[in-house]
Structure 1
Amino acid sequence: MHQALPPALREAVDDFAEHLSRVRNRSTHTVRAYVTDLVSLFDHAVRMGCVDLAELDLSVLRSWLARLRTTGAARTSLARRAASARAFCAWAHRAGLLSADVGAALASPRAHRELPSVLRADQAAALVDGPTRRVTPTDNPPAADLPNTHGAPTNPATTGRAAGATSGEAAVPLRDRVLLELLYATGVRVSEACGLDVGDVDHGRRVIRVLGKGGRERSVPYGVPAQRALDDWLHRGRPAMVGTHSGDALLLGARGGRLNPTTARQIVGAYAEAAGLPRTSPHGLRHSAATHLLEGGADLRAVQELLGHSSLASTQIYTHVSVERLRAAYRQAHPRA
């Protein structure tokens, strides 16, 4: 669809994508999302007879959103696409491609924010401790093998070397353990965890250096259990899995390359299923970490900095989670509830 656009519109999309990537330092995923939204907008504009960027106006933007709404687009999708249109129009106006910022007056539906589901502290502990549980030959481990990078399976309940297992296979549970520990201990995003290098770990101060959204760097502390998991992985696990393509990556896949976020999500999901927990993702562990910090008395601003939120409003949703959990406990336990 991108190639089918008129040259002027296609060039505008490409220039904006380059601006997002080089100037705004947005991730490849973010740039791709913006481009997808703009291609959809311009495809609609062409259908309305708008073949030049100068012909873009507020009525075109509004009719585009209206058409998306009639096709069943969710409020969150409409809000995101409207934000993409506003960002593009503001850039195009500054770049002299539009005589006015036609997107400034574009309203969008307020996205309905559902409260994130979180694990209880004991459930989170059961999940994180999954790789450390040992089984004997007479035990009955879960039937489903844990998906690994490039399809190499490992059983979530096994930590020691199984009969005939290679040293790399025995190291996988150590990798899984440090992944789970870091996700819950620090609340980092899965992409941030997978992007860590060995040099990003400060063992003396027990902090990791994280490169977050927009290229923003922050330091996040972790606790003693995560330190133990890191020590085991770096001394016994990583050397067994390291390969020619490992580079400085902290977490490795089965073939020695950097662990990718998709595999990390599969790992978390498999351990959650093995522990009999609700369906859980790395983002669920991030939600749980933030909620448990606030329930333990952590300052909201401190949690914002730990999570790497640019806006405090993003962090405040976890205060609502804590209140809802308190209300649920009250309704269940208080005789006058």
Structure 2
Amino acid sequence: MSGALPRFFRPERAVAADESVSWVVVDEDLELHVEACAYLAGLRGAGRAFNTEKTYAGRIALYLSYCRGHGVDWSSPSLAQLMAMMRWLVDEPMPARSRRPGATARYRSEGTANAIMGTVGEFLSWCCLQGWVPPTVVNALTQPKYLRFLPVGFDAGEDGQNRTVMARTIKFRVAVPGYEWLSDEEIGVLLGLARHARDAFLIQLLAGTGMRIGEALGLRREDMHLLPDSRLLGCPHEGPHVHVRRRLNANGAFAKARQPRVIPVEREVIEAYSHYQYERDEVDEAAGTDLVFVNLFHPPLGEPMKYDNAHELFCRLAERAGFRARPHMLRHSAITTMRRAGVDRRVVQEIAGHVSASSQDVYSHVTDSDKREAVEMVAEARRQARS
């Protein structure tokens, strides 16, 4: 949050007596915001991911702080006040990541502002159902919209009755971003720049399996079945593979997919894991941690690697490589490679952990070589027609 606005509310990680972990919103006196905490508890009850709860807690705390700082009643804001907050989100600078002199301020994108205001709308709508927010507030958040162009797979209905949907009133118009991915050459550059076996294994694992970063950071050593035959371990699955299971881990890593799945791995992943094990065994503190990825080079040694650690790692790699590199781009690369190789959609869906096969449509990337080949085919067809 910007230094120009006092941090009246903030998200906090709460640990219950049974050691279960949740997120709450507190004020400067550490008093719980009852309505916000109830909403977050509702997310948990609905089975939303742990990291979704964490993200929403931060967004709601930001909304409540904005309301307190600008004299807005959080439970009955006007449409104009909400639109003013949306503009404030992109105009107000955020603190620089570094405290070094000369560090530049950061600004939220319009897409980020849309995501924050979307959460605020969900929060107010939920509070309306509880009788805490007037219906007039929620009614102003959406308006009817006629879909002239239908998304792929959308059922318009026999008479087109489904073409009219309720759209958000408060929203920036932004271009729909494409899924970023890395070529094999770029992945090779990252592997060459990795200074530790652990980092190289993380890159190889994400690029080879297409798993999400939360799934990778949540892996435990018992999930790594890398023998040619794992039946001696009581596992019926053939060949080297890893198990992806949804758990609540000490480092906050969380598998998005509800159903556990098995992902086969190839020699490069196995070799990278073997090199990492030698590196890990040199750190005594790592012996007591069952999670695969742990801190080996900075304190607290042996502690599970967290999202922030992975983010900082890829930021360093991207800076050295000279191109953008994020963990999710390696997942996109793996799925794109499978799609381009003609792998059956159902197989890709199982490996990626997608609920619907239609989720793969965004991975049908077109490369420069694809476009060049298409133009050359057209030109050749015309030459043949002329002759």
The TM-score range, normalised by the shorter chain, is 0.5 to 0.7
Quote the Cα distance in structure 2 between the aligned partners of 1:92 and 1:68: 23
Corresponding residue for 1:31?
53
Contact 2:40 2:57 in 1 (8 A): yes
Closer/same/farther in 2, CA of residues 49 and 178 from structure 1, 3 Å limit: closer
Deviation of 1:296 (Å): 1.0
Corresponding residue for 1:322?
366
Does residue 230 (structure 1) correspond to residue 280 (structure 2)? The answer is: no
Corresponding residue for 1:208?
243
Aligned residues: 291
State the AA in 1 paired with 2:290: D
Candidates 270, 290, 294, aligned match of 1:248: 290
Corresponding residue for 1:259?
305
Deviation of 1:196 (Å): 1.0
Closer/same/farther in 2, CA of residues 265 and 70 from structure 1, 3 Å limit: closer
Closer/same/farther in 2, CA of residues 238 and 224 from structure 1, 3 Å limit: same
Q: In structure 2, the residue corresponding to 1:289 is in which secondary structure?
A: helix
Q: In structure 2, the residue corresponding to 1:102 is in which secondary structure?
A: helix
Q: Write out per-residue CA displacement over residues 77-112 of structure 1, whole angstroms, 9 at most, x where no aligned residue.
A: 232023202321232233343353816624334542
- What value does the CA root-mean-square deviation take over the aligned residues? 4.0
Closer/same/farther in 2, CA of residues 61 and 52 from structure 1, 3 Å limit: closer
Candidates 181, 186, 191, aligned match of 1:118: 181
Give the gaps of 5 or more residues in structure 1: 131-141, 147-155, 157-171
Q: In structure 1, the residue corresponding to 2:33 is in which secondary structure?
A: helix
Quote the Cα distance in structure 2 between the aligned partners of 1:250 and 1:215: 19
Q: Write out per-residue CA displacement over residues 258-281 of structure 1, whole angstroms, 9 at most, x where no aligned residue.
A: 23344444555666777x673423
Identity rate, percent: 20
* More contact order relative to length (CA 8 Å, sep ≥ 6): 1
State the AA in 2 paired with 1:64: M
Corresponding residue for 2:341?
296
Q: In structure 2, the residue corresponding to 1:322 is in which secondary structure?
A: coil
Q: In structure 1, the residue corresponding to 2:244 is in which secondary structure?
A: strand
Q: In structure 2, the residue corresponding to 1:208 is in which secondary structure?
A: strand
- 1:80-99 alignment, distance < 5 Å: 80-98=115-133
Deviation of 1:290 (Å): 1.9
State the AA in 1 paired with 2:371: R
Q: Write out per-residue CA displacement over residues 295-327 of structure 1, whole angstroms, 9 at most, x where no aligned residue.
A: 1113445434433445666542221x2366622
Contact 2:211 2:331 in 1 (8 A): yes
State the AA in 1 paired with 2:327: P
Quote the Cα distance in structure 2 between the aligned partners of 1:266 and 1:328: 37
Corresponding residue for 1:16?
39
Closer/same/farther in 2, CA of residues 121 and 215 from structure 1, 3 Å limit: closer
Under a length normalisation based on structure 2, what TM-score does the superposition of the two structures give? 0.60
Closer/same/farther in 2, CA of residues 336 and 202 from structure 1, 3 Å limit: same
Deviation of 1:241 (Å): 3.0
More helix by share: 1
Closer/same/farther in 2, CA of residues 45 and 264 from structure 1, 3 Å limit: closer
State the AA in 2 paired with 1:15: A
Quote the Cα distance in structure 1 between the aligned partners of 2:31 and 2:305: 40
Closer/same/farther in 2, CA of residues 122 and 36 from structure 1, 3 Å limit: closer
Quote the Cα distance in structure 2 between the aligned partners of 1:216 and 1:188: 14
Closer/same/farther in 2, CA of residues 207 and 12 from structure 1, 3 Å limit: same
Which one is further off, 202-211 or 95-104?
A: 95-104
Quote the Cα distance in structure 2 between the aligned partners of 1:299 and 1:112: 30
Closer/same/farther in 2, CA of residues 233 and 48 from structure 1, 3 Å limit: closer
Closer/same/farther in 2, CA of residues 18 and 325 from structure 1, 3 Å limit: farther
Contact 1:45 1:60 in 2 (8 A): no
More strand by share: 2
Contact 1:196 1:250 in 2 (8 A): yes
Under a length normalisation based on structure 1, what TM-score does the superposition of the two structures give? 0.68
Quote the Cα distance in structure 1 between the aligned partners of 2:258 and 2:377: 45
Quote the Cα distance in structure 1 between the aligned partners of 2:367 and 2:70: 48
Contact 2:215 2:244 in 1 (8 A): no
Quote the Cα distance in structure 1 between the aligned partners of 2:190 and 2:90: 40
